[in-house]
A and B are shown apart, each in its own frame.
Chain A
Amino acid sequence: MLKLTKKVLVRLVLFLGGTLFLLTGCSFPGVSGSGEDAIRIASQSSTESQIMANILAELINHELGYKTALISNLGSATVAHQAMIRGDADISATRYTGTDITGTLQLPVVKDPQKATQIVKREFKKRYNQTWFPTYGFADTYAFMVTQETAKEKNIKTISDLGKYAAEMNAGVDSSWMNRPGDGYKDFSETYGFNFQRVYPMQIGLVYDAVEAGKMQAVLGYSTDGRIKSYKLKLLKDDKRFFPPYDCSLVVNDSLLKKYPKLAPLLHRLDGKIDLKTMQSLNYQVDNDLLEPAVVAQQFLAKHQYFKGSDKND
């Protein structure tokens, strides 16, 4: 009986494994992305990432008619990178120079935006056969912000200006930023030479409401967040260039560009087309106006006639 059981179990495992193997290459009608034919675009769970992924998908769909599939809600740049290396995804919709230099490439922090872009371009080509496109035109950096009233009343324009009042200010910051080596709070106070009265680590999504409600006097948030626009917050200039650049670009596997030669010129249409204000307003439409990223992307491209005529070759 025991012998039989073992044999049956082995067969069962073989059988399930076989089904699994068969399924890998299967394509199911009506469900895009189940086969190998579609261009797969990976995005992270942030609003911005999903908007950009939808813009890419809509652009490719509309202009070239290729099938696209979105792989959304990936946890981090590392997951997106792994997905591309494994061949589960062909395009990463949003990748940031600062994140990938210290994360994926394991290199020291680079503060000069141009240099950072050069490094990721070169290293991604060399190490992974991936093309790092020119930036969309916005950078999603950490930025200190205060309300317009505070800015006017105390004449604060830069982070250095903040120093005079910092001793009596409470600051809300991203909890992962607090103890981050290299560009965290410790290094921040060394560079700028001041400390806040108290620093509250909190979830990044809450800082905008906290400063708007007056619970905090200054907060550290993402520069592209839609709420900056809706709460009319004042972004403070990083005058000592403390925060590393996080210029946003798309990254594509070279194998895909080879397979579809028309793709690269099309994707270059987006080079420098989306500045910080535009991105804030796109994020605002999703976060505040309850529009889906897919809807926002479609409207944005339609408004700009799909950037026809700005095709470019490398």
Chain B
Amino acid sequence: MTNLSTWEQFWYYLANNGSYVLSQFTRHFLISIYGVLIAAIVGIPVGILIARRRRLSAVVIGAANVIQTVPSLAMLSIVMLGLGLGVNTVIFTVFLYSLLPILKNTYTGMTSVDKTILDSGKGMGMTSFQILYMVELPLALSVIMAGIRNALVVAIGITAIGAFVGAGGLGDIIVRGTNATGGGAIILAGALPTALMAIVSDLVLGFLQRRLEPKKA
């Protein structure tokens, strides 16, 4: 194999281990998605809440900011103390890092809705739930979506580090490449799909975000 160039080795590797790379790709993607999904389930309601009670917002966003400053490898180790080795540790770490972009964007989206529109809603006799559901959320949706998009791209990067706590995913292939002598091709086989996943999911979510943008009258 040593007589082949790195690119030839790369294609050779993919041809022979394609199904393995694909299974790790799916695993990697699912780990990232689950983490972001939980963060969305938690972050969006909290974001809405702090948009209503502004006094809370500084504290909550401050706390999320603090989480974001911890280096990902350190965070992984800290979470590992509680959750042990394995996938759940990585999913929880992804959740923590996804919290800030989702929270902050929900908060920003909700607070940037024009006051006059809210007032006209109230004037029409809408309940506060109706205002939230029919006015605020649709107007804020594209901003919230941008937060989720941001979170997912970061999540895919963090999941790659998850290989160090034995979670699998494409990071596993990268780490194996770093251990093998002349493993340049193996590193590429792990790194390129990771980058591809980040780019494609960013594009897809970007498309969704534009579709959700409120139409300007």
A288/B88 in contact, CB under 8 A? no
CA distance A86 to B61 in the complex (A): 35
Residue of B nearest to A83 (CB): B85
CA distance A73 to B177 in the complex (A): 12
Given the contacts A8-B60, A34-B86, A20 and B181 also touching, CB distance less than 8 Å: no
Rounded to whole Å, the gap between the CB of A42 and the closest CB of chain B is 7
Residue-wise interface mask of A (68-83) relative to B, using a CB-CB cutoff of 8 A (1 in contact, 0 not): 0111111000000001
B20/A70 in contact, CB under 8 A? no
Q: What residues on A are CB-neighbors of B163 within 8 Å?
A: 72-73
CA distance A72 to B83 in the complex (A): 17
Rounded to whole Å, the gap between the CB of B83 and the closest CB of chain A is 6
Rounded to whole Å, the gap between the CB of B190 and the closest CB of chain A is 11
Given the contacts A45-B175, A69-B86, A88-B85, A19 and B166 also touching, CB distance less than 8 Å: no
A64 interfacial contact with B, CB 8 Å: no
A9 interfacial contact with B, CB 8 Å: yes
A256 interfacial contact with B, CB 8 Å: no
A244 interfacial contact with B, CB 8 Å: no
B1/A289 in contact, CB under 8 A? yes
Binds A, one of B24-32, B68-76, B132-140, B201-209: B24-32
CA distance A1 to B42 in the complex (A): 25
Q: What residues on B are CB-neighbors of A295 within 8 Å?
A: 16-17, 20
Residue-wise interface mask of B (174-190) relative to A, using a CB-CB cutoff of 8 A (1 in contact, 0 not): 01100111000110000
B172/A72 in contact, CB under 8 A? yes
CA distance A88 to B2 in the complex (A): 38
- Which residue, B1, B13, B168, B175, has most C-beta atoms of chain A within 10 A? B168
Q: What residues on A are CB-neighbors of B59 within 8 Å?
A: 5, 8-9, 12
CA distance A193 to B44 in the complex (A): 72
A24/B88 in contact, CB under 8 A? yes
Residue of A nearest to B27 (CB): A31
Residue-wise interface mask of B (7-33) relative to A, using a CB-CB cutoff of 8 A (1 in contact, 0 not): 001001100110011000011001100
A290/B1 in contact, CB under 8 A? yes
Q: What residues on B are CB-neighbors of A28 within 8 Å?
A: 30, 34, 87, 91
Rounded to whole Å, the gap between the CB of B60 and the closest CB of chain A is 7
Q: What residues on A are CB-neighbors of B63 within 8 Å?
A: 9, 12
CA distance A76 to B164 in the complex (A): 12
A20/B83 in contact, CB under 8 A? yes
Q: What residues on A are CB-neighbors of B27 within 8 Å?
A: 30-32
A 261-314 contacts with B by CB, 8 A: 286-295
Rounded to whole Å, the gap between the CB of A149 and the closest CB of chain B is 20
B82 interfacial contact with A, CB 8 Å: yes
Q: How many residues of B contact A (CB 8 A)?
A: 47
A19/B180 in contact, CB under 8 A? no
Number of A-B contacts (CB under 8 A): 126
B97 interfacial contact with A, CB 8 Å: no
Residue of A nearest to B176 (CB): A50
B85/A8 in contact, CB under 8 A? no
Rounded to whole Å, the gap between the CB of A85 and the closest CB of chain B is 11
Residue-wise interface mask of A (49-77) relative to B, using a CB-CB cutoff of 8 A (1 in contact, 0 not): 01000000000000000000111111000
Residue of B nearest to A225 (CB): B181
B179/A47 in contact, CB under 8 A? yes
The 8 Å CB contact of B87, one of A4, A31, A73, A291, is: A31
Q: What residues on B are CB-neighbors of A286 within 8 Å?
A: 180
Q: What residues on B are CB-neighbors of A33 within 8 Å?
A: 86-87, 167-168
B166/A31 in contact, CB under 8 A? no
Given the contacts A9-B59, A19-B95, A71-B85, A30 and B180 also touching, CB distance less than 8 Å: no
B 86-112 contacts with A by CB, 8 A: 86-88, 91-92, 95-96
A-B contact pairs, 15 of them (CB 8 A): A9-B59, A9-B63, A16-B96, A19-B38, A23-B92, A28-B34, A34-B91, A72-B172, A73-B172, A83-B85, A83-B166, A88-B86, A287-B181, A290-B13, A291-B17
Other A-B pairs beyond A12-B63, A24-B83, A28-B91, 16, CB < 8 Å:
A8-B59, A12-B59, A12-B60, A16-B96, A24-B88, A32-B27, A72-B172, A73-B175, A88-B85, A205-B180, A227-B181, A286-B180, A287-B180, A291-B17, A292-B20, A294-B20
Please report B residues at the A interface, Cβ cutoff 8 Å: 1-2, 9, 12-13, 16-17, 20-21, 26-27, 30-31, 34, 38, 42, 55-56, 59-60, 63, 79, 82-88, 91-92, 95-96, 163-164, 166-168, 172-173, 175-176, 179-181, 185-186
